[in-house]
A = this chain, B = another copy of it.
Amino acid sequence: MDEIQRQLLEEVADLHEVPEGAYNIRANGQSTARNTTANIDIVSKEDNSGIDIKIKDGTVKESVHIPVVLSQSGLSEVVYNDFYVGDDCDVTIVAGCGIHNSGDADSQHDGVHRFYIGKNSRVRYVEKHYGGGEGTGKRILNPVTEVYQKENSYCEMEMVQIKGVDSTIRTTKAELEKGATFLVRERLMTHGSQTASSIYEVTLSGEDSSTDVISRSVAKDNSEQIFEASIVGNTACQGHAECDAIIMDKAHVVAVPKLDANHVDAALIHEAAIGKIAGDQLIKLMSLGLTREEAEEQIINGFLR
């Protein structure tokens, strides 16, 4: 692993060295390092199109890191990673993809992540996307995330894409059984002429299941963002979605939430707001000596924290 790849790893997985616990590091289309534990097994799919992560019943306080880095311009790949989380687990999964493109061919990573979460298990999932490099080739990431949650399971997803990804279509689907909870915290920033679509579809079919999807985004320059969040309530359940976007410069932001209540005890709520940075916030920071740009940056950082 070279210096560029190490930098990418740090951006997407906060890794300065090899992580503790189970991990699989994929670089330029190949698995370059792997560790398994007594409770967490990682098995390559037979056609090398991805990995299966198998977590035993009752695995607690363990983590899995599966970062992907691409530093070879022009590489395009689709990877299927399947997570089989047993019952009564409590695990943290850190994914993420960093693309460094210094060439003029597009680099693309499409990761399909499927989570099968057992009864009473808790999963915390962190996914960061980052693009860098001075090439004219695009950095393209199209993550697909599917979550199937058994009774009383809990899944919390932190999805972050702050910088350098030219084009992304993010698709997340979740299906919840009885008493399950699914939380999303998405933070997104686009600039230049980047485009980002973020699509959520959460189906609450289990009694007393609940979801809370919160997306915060900043669209700068000529970038375009589309946010679609659909919550379907088929039984007694609770759903909340919130989309807050800061629009700047010549950007374009579209928010299309959808609530679908199929049951008298489905309680569904949505909120969305799109607007620019509040003028009084800017003025206050500028009166403290910051330039307009510094003030904007500070407000954006706070908003996306």
What residues of chain A have their CB less than 8 Å away from a CB belonging to chain B? 233, 245, 247-276
Q: How far is the CA of A266 from the CA of B249 in the complex (A)?
A: 11
- Cβ contact within 8 Å between A253 and B261: yes
Given contacts A256-B257, A258-B255, A259-B254, contact A273 B264 (CB under 8 A): no
Partner of A270, one of B257, B267, B268: B257
Q: Which residues of B contact A272 (CB under 8 A)?
A: 257, 259, 268-271
Question: Looking across the interface, which residue of chain B has its beta carbon closest to that of A277?
Answer: B264
Q: Which residues of B contact A260 (CB under 8 A)?
A: 252-254
CB distance from A274 to the nearest CB of B (A): 4
Given contacts A252-B261, A256-B258, contact A275 B270 (CB under 8 A): no
Given contacts A254-B259, A258-B255, A259-B254, contact A276 B265 (CB under 8 A): yes
- Cβ contact within 8 Å between B252 and A264: no
Q: Which residues of B contact A270 (CB under 8 A)?
A: 255, 257, 270-273
Name 7 A/B residue pairs within 8 A (Cβ), A-sorted: A247-B263, A254-B258, A254-B259, A256-B258, A266-B275, A269-B271, A270-B271
Q: Which residues of B contact A253 (CB under 8 A)?
A: 259-261
- Cβ contact within 8 Å between A261 and B245: yes
Q: Which residues of B contact A266 (CB under 8 A)?
A: 247, 274-275
**Copies of this protein chain in the complex:** 2
CB distance from A212 to the nearest CB of B (A): 14
Question: Looking across the interface, which residue of chain B has its beta carbon closest to that of A256?
Answer: B258
Question: Looking across the interface, which residue of chain B has its beta carbon closest to that of A230?
Answer: B256
Q: Which residues of B contact A255 (CB under 8 A)?
A: 258-259, 270
Q: Which residues of B contact A252 (CB under 8 A)?
A: 260-262
CB distance from A117 to the nearest CB of B (A): 27
Q: How far is the CA of A274 from the CA of B266 in the complex (A)?
A: 8
Q: How far is the CA of A258 from the CA of B247 in the complex (A)?
A: 16
CB distance from A221 to the nearest CB of B (A): 11
Q: Which residues of B contact A261 (CB under 8 A)?
A: 245, 247, 252-254, 274-275
- Cβ contact within 8 Å between B245 and A264: no
Question: Looking across the interface, which residue of chain B has its beta carbon closest to that of A253?
Answer: B261
Q: How far is the CA of A216 from the CA of B263 in the complex (A)?
A: 18
The 7 A-B pairs at the shortest CB distance, nearest first, are namely A267-B275, A261-B274, A270-B272, A255-B259, A256-B258, A253-B261, A268-B274
Question: Looking across the interface, which residue of chain B has its beta carbon closest to that of A267?
Answer: B275
Q: How far is the CA of A67 from the CA of B269 in the complex (A)?
A: 37
CB distance from A234 to the nearest CB of B (A): 10
CB distance from A264 to the nearest CB of B (A): 5
Q: Which residues of B contact A258 (CB under 8 A)?
A: 254-256
Given contacts A255-B258, A256-B257, A261-B252, contact A275 B271 (CB under 8 A): no
Question: Looking across the interface, which residue of chain B has its beta carbon closest to that of A258?
Answer: B256
